[in-house]
Amino acid sequence: MSFSVGIPRALLYYYYFPAWQAFFQTLGAEIVLSDETTKHILDQGVRAAVEETCLPVKLFLGHVANLCEKNVDFIFIPRVVSVERKKYLCPKFLGLPEIVRHCLPNLPEILTPEINWGQREGKTLAELKKLAARFCHEPGSFHRALQAALTAQKLYEAKLRQGLTPQEVLHNEKAPLPAGNIRVAVLGHAYNLNDSFLSLNLLKKLRALGAEVITAEMLPAQAIAKGVKSLVKESFWTFGHQLLGVGNYLLRENKIAGLVLVASFGCGPDSLICELIERFYKRQRNVPVLLLTLDEHTGEAGIITRLEAFVDMLYWRKAR
């Protein structure tokens, strides 16, 4: 059975695409990605979304619309509830299939298995097994697909720990040469930082200015665990927990000269997490913090000006 599965190049694509690709290809699927983000794709999403929708979901809708133009048989939009115990993803991920169905007409069939590793691992495995059975009836096909997915994900995360960004790994780009002598942490969701159009190539611009860039994905789980130990209360959002842990770890270990926080307009968890991290840095150590908020109107000139001024200030502080 030959079939094509479309995967939007947005949101959890930057976290789990290698696993998804391996899973479906093992079952015999052709993987079709939406195009790289363009203004047209973003505009499609903005037009389809309701007014209060956050920027990443607007962009996701644009990528789904782009896949519809490619005439794929299915679009994969899992309902991801949790990926670890006692932590959850933002409600937008829980309701993503319904958001897409209500905002976009004439969709192909959407594949929506519920992923809830934190509470219902058995049910999650049953959902994935049921999904696999739709496309391949060979004995052991599900277990082969699952093992291929886990192996691909482990390899992907190992490459991230080597200092590559998700964008560089997914695009098979070479590791960047060692940059300048100041280290700058850039904390934000991978789907904001690694979309070249949305972030205006923020990470590459910082490297071009002579900064060594660190992102949350480059640090091991032990660093996050060490960073959250001093928190009075942990965040129950998976990505928020990760950013708080990394931010606190880098602060306490005196690892960086400056911090860039990247938030998306309309994101409730972002507004809280960024505020908490800023307060940690102001109270505990004098590390400069730059907050950038992205929306569909963000201009490249303004971002470049702020980054240049920020990096110049870091070099000035180091030279004193």
pLDDT for 145 beyond 70 = yes
* Alpha-carbon span 104 to 1, nearest angstrom: 28
pTM, two decimals, is 0.93
Tokens matching residue 258? 């400056």
Q: Note the residue count of the chain.
A: 320
Pairing of the two strands 258-264 and 109-111: unpaired
Please tell me whether residues 133 and 191 are part of one structural domain. no
User: Within this chain, do residues 103 and 173 fall inside the same structural domain, yes or no?
Assistant: no
**Domain-terminating residue out of 136, 161, 186:** 161
β-bridge pairing 29-33 and 289-294: unpaired
The verdict on 78 and 218 lying in the same domain is no
Do 50 and 103 belong together in one domain?
A: yes
Report yes or no: 27 and 145 within 8 Å, Cβ to Cβ. Answer: yes
Task: With residue 228 as reference, give the H or E element that holds it.
Answer: helix 221-228
The beta strand positions in 1-158, using DSSP E, are 3-7, 29-33, 74-76, 79-82, 109-111, 114-116
**Co-location of 118 and 173 in the same domain:** no
> What was the pLDDT predicted at 297?
75
Residues 236 and 265 in one domain: yes
Instruction: Tell me, yes or no, whether 122 and 205 share the same domain.
Output: no
- Highest mean pLDDT range out of 28-42, 175-189, 235-249? 28-42
State the total domains in the chain: 2
The domain boundary, picked from 143, 161, 179, lies at 161
Note the pLDDT of residue 298.
76
Residue pLDDT, tens place only, 66-106: 999 999 999 999 999 999 888 899 888 999 999 999 999 99
Is 139 in the same domain as 195? no
Q: Strands of 77-162 (E only): list them.
A: 79-82, 109-111, 114-116
Among 175, 172, 218, CA closest to 193: 218
Q: Is 203 helix (H, G, I), strand (E, B) or coil?
A: helix
Q: Do 87 and 49 share a domain, yes or no?
A: yes
Confidence of residue 179 (pLDDT cuts 50, 70, 90): low
| CATH number for 273 | 3.40.50.11900
> 127: domain range?
3-161
Give Cβ neighbours of residue 37 (< 8 Å, ≥ 6 apart). Answer: 9, 10, 59, 62, 63, 195, 196, 197, 198
Under 8 Å CB-to-CB from 315, ≥6 apart: which residues? 182, 210
The answer on 177 and 108 residing in a single domain is no
Residues facing residue 288 across a β-bridge? none
The tens digit of pLDDT for each residue in 256-283 reads 999 999 988 878 788 888 888 888 888 8
CATH number at residue 35: 3.40.50.11890
Q: Are residues 134 and 21 part of one domain?
A: yes
Query: 99 and 240 share a domain?
Result: no
DSSP string, 167-197: HHHHTTPPPPPP--SEEEEEES-HHHHS-HH
pLDDT at 246: 92
Tell me the C-alpha distance between 286 and 68, whole Å. Answer: 49
Tokens standing for residue 277: 């991290």
Report residue 142's pLDDT band, with 50, 70 and 90 as the boundaries. very high
